[in-house]
Amino acid sequence: MKVRIFDTTLRDGEQTLGVSLSPDQKLSIAKKLDELGVDAIEAGFPVISDGEFKGVQLITAEGLSAEIVGLTRTIKKDFDTAIDAGLTSIHTFIATSDIHLEYKLKMTREQVLEKAIEAVEYGKSRGVKVEFSAEDATRTDREFLKKVFGEVAKAGADRIDIPDTVGYSTPEYMAEITRDAVIASKLPVSVHCHNDFGLAVANALSGIHAGAECAHVTINGIGERAGNASLEEFSMALQCLPYEQKYETNIKSKLIYDTSRFISKIIGIKVQPNKAIVGDNAFGHESGIHTHGVLSNPLTYEPISPELVGQKRRLRVGKHAGIHGMNAMLAEFGVKPTNEQSEKILEKVKVLGDQGKQITDVELLSIASEILGEKGIKRIVQLTGFSVSTGIGTMPYAFVKLTIDGEEFTGTDHGVGPVDAAFNAIQKITGKVSEIRIKDYALASISGGSGALCEVTISVEDAQGNRVSAKSVGEDIVTTSVQAVIDGINHIMLKKMLKEKQVS
């Protein structure tokens, strides 16, 4: 059975606290979603602002393959604005639960039903497709909900949607009211599930098994409060879990990871590492037992292959490490220690692991080279001099002195702040030796007070697109930032050098 994917990243997802997108950003996300293969894109709520209208207009004008949908209340002006924005498909909603009727709408059930019917009829008279949502459906009186769905169907609605607006449904109840909705409306049914109890995907799947044909989902599960059902979890569960009924979607699963990161970057919300399917740890292994298993057959500790969703298997070593996994990581760089050397390297790894450190491949190589007697892996780039000046009425300015393979370089530059100025100065110098760019920068304070420790995480990328991240902890924000960048640059150069060595 084919399940329709209705993506609402640009509507419910944009209602995530702290998220607001420009029209151009909305368009770039819509294009990405279209490439991913979603069937419908809810582009926005055109009546709320000029920018929102413009964003929806840009998307409808783009000629994408996905059906473009816009949200409206059951108000004529909302429909007119949506149609003016180029929409031919509308998702209209009105609340049906007593709590919304009494405290928000101040309307009776009869009045709400009348509004719903009028809106559907108006939409149809304007020649657009109409999907009707009974907001807060899962807390609505069950008999009244059936009546509403039956009546809007008679009024000409093309589809109906069951929103679990506050994530209050159980999978069992979602199945029951989905069956009700199918019987009452005889229309294609969608489910719109929220994640307040972490059940959004389970509820959406349950709706599908009970006869719904479509789910409203968002990339990375973003959305109001705890978010919506996540597209990647929902679509992969349908495709991969051992259901008797076979399900398919039009999602090109290999693009999932890339789409997740693209959207995370634009909206500025990070994906938690343990997020299913798209988290950085979703296919990561550290413990010796797991790593050993995965290396002999990935199916031992991975339900699906990471490549299926455009992900990578990530092996890490730390205090749970075993010799097999560690040797596999080293072998990737052509480093093959003897048994005795392996044990020594592992011992060092475990000491660091016990100190709470996660050891990256570059650090592992560095430990290995100490043990293998290659006189340690030298720091290719060393920070030998550094100063910044900043203040009000003066442009932040930085001076940096680096030693690269024994040769000294100096660089100066301005920036929007002292960290930016320092990075610009570093890039001026490193740009001469290899094209390394700073891609990400994150600063967090570890403890309170003005003497707090800060933690800087950066990622750098070389011309071939290889990315490495580095972390540094210190008391001075600017110096710590610079140190993290220098570490990142060293890591990437070292990785490259070892890879080249392996090839030759």
Enumerate binding residues for Mn ion (CB under 5 A): 12
Residue by residue, DSSP assigns 383-404 as EEEEEEE--SSS--EEEEEEEE
Question: Which CB atom, from 12 or from 78, has the smaller least distance to Mn ion?
Answer: 12
Residue nearest to Mn ion (CB): 12
Task: Name the residue nearer to Mn ion (CB basis): 11 or 319.
Answer: 11
Q: For residue 376, give the DSSP letter.
A: -
Cβ atoms of 192 and 217 within 8 Å: the answer is no
Of 463, 462, 443, nearest in space to 453 by CA? 443
Distances from the Cα of 490 to the Cαs of 65, 172, 339, 343, 405, in angstroms?
45, 54, 28, 26, 11
Q: Are 407 and 380 in contact (CB under 8 A)?
A: no
CB of 194 to Mn ion, least distance (A): 6
- Choose among 497, 495, 499: nearest CA to 470: 495
Calculate the CA dihedral of residues 126, 4, 14, 123 and round it to 10 degrees. 10
Based on CB atoms, which residue is closest to Mn ion, 12 or 361?
12
Nearer of residues 217 and 486 to Mn ion, judged by Cβ: 217
CB closer to Mn ion out of 132 and 283: 132
> For residue 306, what are the contacts with CB-CB under 8 A and spacing of at least 6?
282, 283, 312, 313
Token digits for 358?
């996660």
Q: To the nearest whole angstrom, how small is the minimum distance from the Cβ of residue 15 to Mn ion?
A: 7
Instruction: Give residue for tokens 């009045």.
Output: 111
Query: At its nearest, how many Å lie between Mn ion and the CB of residue 16?
Result: 11
Q: Whose Cβ is closer to Mn ion: residue 12's or residue 34's?
A: 12
Minimal distance in Å, beta carbon 282 to Mn ion?
25
- Report the length, in residues, of the chain: 504
Please, which residue, 12 or 131, has the CB nearer to Mn ion?
12
Distance CA 457, CA 477 (A): 12
C-alpha dihedral over 474, 477, 478, 479, to 10 degrees? -10
DSSP annotation string for 58-84: HHHTT--SSEEEEEEES-HHHHHHHHH
Rank residues 34 and 164 by Cβ distance to Mn ion and give the closer one.
164
Name the minimum Å distance from CB 165 to Mn ion: 6
What are the backbone dihedrals phi and psi of residue 375, each rounded to the nearest 5 degrees, phi first? 40, 40
Closer Cβ to Mn ion, 157 or 162, answer by number: 162
Q: How far is 236 from 234, CA to CA, in rounded Å?
A: 6
CA distance 42 to 221: 15
Contact 51, 19 (CB under 8 A): no
230 vs 291 by CB, closer to Mn ion = 230
Q: Give the residues across from 41 on adjacent strands.
A: 7, 68
Mutual orientation of helices 171-185 and 200-209 as an angle, nearest 10°? 40
Is 174 or 454 the residue whose CB approaches Mn ion more closely? 174
- CB 230, min distance to Mn ion, A: 13
Helix (H, G, I), strand (E, B) or coil at 156: coil
CB of 369 to Mn ion, least distance (A): 53
Smaller CB separation from Mn ion, 12 or 14 = 12
Q: Work out how close the CB of 33 gets to Mn ion at its nearest, in angstroms, rounded to a whole number.
A: 17
